[in-house]
A and B are shown apart, each in its own frame.
Chain A
Amino acid sequence: MKPAKFEYYAPQTLQETLEVLAFYGEDARILAGGQSLVPLLNFRIMQPSALVSINHCQDLHHLALEAEDIVCGALIRQVEAEHSAVVSQSCPLLAAALPWVGGRANRNRGTVCGSLAHADPLAELTAVATALDAKFMLASVHGRREVLPEEFFLGELSTCIEPGEMLEAVRFPAVGADATAAFVEVGNRQHGFAVVGVAAQLEYEPDGRYRRVRLAAIGVGSTPVRLEVAEGILTDTYGDMATVKEASHAAAIGLEPPGGFHADAAYRLKVLPVLIERAVKQAHAARYEQKEH
């Protein structure tokens, strides 16, 4: 229950960080919040030669609206994003999902980018990134590249981050003030792992018609699943009950969720439409609560 030995680095700049990563290649891991990584180290499931702590790297601590995106640097803690006015105004889905990401002690230290880079198939933020077509900014000493969720998430705990590379920041598309969102999940405990979770964000025409619908789920695949069929059914509608139900049930067709310790595939397929319905209704209701104020 104690980690194996490692060399420890605490670079002060992004450039230093990248140089250490280049030196160690796949033998180094980034240490940010450590909430996902350190349990693996404590159990010796992972034994990297070097740990590169970005906790002292102010270059990576930025969260701001830049043109059409909210840019979230690698050192932004989940709790910072949760309390950010920029996030609540311009990315309501991220704001809605964050309270579900573990308990307060985990969110105080865990980072937004860290959760994404770890790519646990049940991580709520992976559904958010997938639903929103977030852009993943990868950096190494050789330069930068930007990838989309379908290229980033390769499988359970697996991303396209190459040895020597790190996730420097994530860009979430900004939406207007009247967009609403919801995140719902079922799981053993409020702060435990999700069994299935659904992220929903709605953007509206002035008359309330759904101009754009973004939906994604965790727990129904080894990576987060974008629910495009359901999105298609709901777009350009007013979100009436029948359409929401139709979309929810259509979403499950063709999916082959993994079995798992907490729930089998059949359960996941059964629960998914229920959660989609709830998420859409909740997001929808939030618009009308907004309008009342």
Chain B
Amino acid sequence: MSEHAPWPGRPRARHLVRDGARTALVQRVSSVAGALVVAVVCVVVLATAGRSAASEHAILAQVDSVGTRLLTLVDDQGTSGVTADGVLALGQVDAVGSAFGLGTAVDVRSVATPDGGAAARRTLVGELPSGLTLVAGRAPGPGEAVVGVAAARTLGLADGLGAVALPRTGAGETPVVGVVHGSGPLANLDELVLAVPAADAAPAPVRFVYVTARSVGDVPALTALLPGLVRATNPAVLTVEAPSGAIALREAISGELGASSRQMMALVLGVGLVIVSVSTYGAVAGRRRDFGRRRALGASRSAIVVLVLVQTAVVACAGAVVGLGLGLWATWTAAGSLPSVAFVAGVGVLAVLVALVGAVPPALAAALRDPVRILRVP
């Protein structure tokens, strides 16, 4: 008799987990069958609901690109009292992704070709917006300007570089250091000369404020609060233009595609749960003597349940990894687009959870089976 006995009679959690994992490895037939079921569930979910989610993802990205998050604050009369400070203050608001303002329009001509075409110059308050692409030159510093591609043509600035000034008097000469191109809702900026005020310039009124919300969900609140947030002295003259039509379209797309995705996924996962449960019942039934022996060796009922669930979790994780890989490949091949990372991760987690839930009844059956009936030799 060992001098160390008795032992606590309580298995260590990590030993149970390790044993469950080893059992999954040595019980190859049932493990491969279980992993296959989970893999098929993942592939089917991705090939059906995942494909819908990928389409939804692509369509929503397209809808969003036309400005579902862009709000425009307009001061038609120039009497709202919005200044550069108010625009810069918007950057401190959590729901605001970015903001910039444009001042009053003044016609300018190229200094090199004073008899050429004229373009509108507006003061730019804040950073160059992300929707503008710099296609030549560099970003402007204080006292410098960039021109839109259309304005560059009008002004005769072939390479986009030069200087602009007020017509006739030549006053207010501003060096032009780059050319920008606006897309989507910012395409109208292509017609403008955007001038960054010099450091010592007097404060000028801001006529347009462009605000990009961090998410579509923030748009309604920002629409209501924007006139106050820009510190206007006369907010009544301000109007807010919100992309309500695009938002409604976005919600309609999201609702329709999302509902069909969820229904399909619920169906596939439900079928998967039943199959996992049945196959685990089969695997557990084939190991009756194992469980009987383990009960005799001191495994409690809860230890048997844990062992079955750990084994199932290991098998399900392996199946989910394989299934997600194959499913993503199939979705990409068939649809040319992929669902979001969150969707894919969610499918993997759900598939493993479904396998675990499906394994609970067979695990309980294994734990509750009378070990004596199994072990006794007739």
Whether A and B are associated in the same complex: the answer reads no
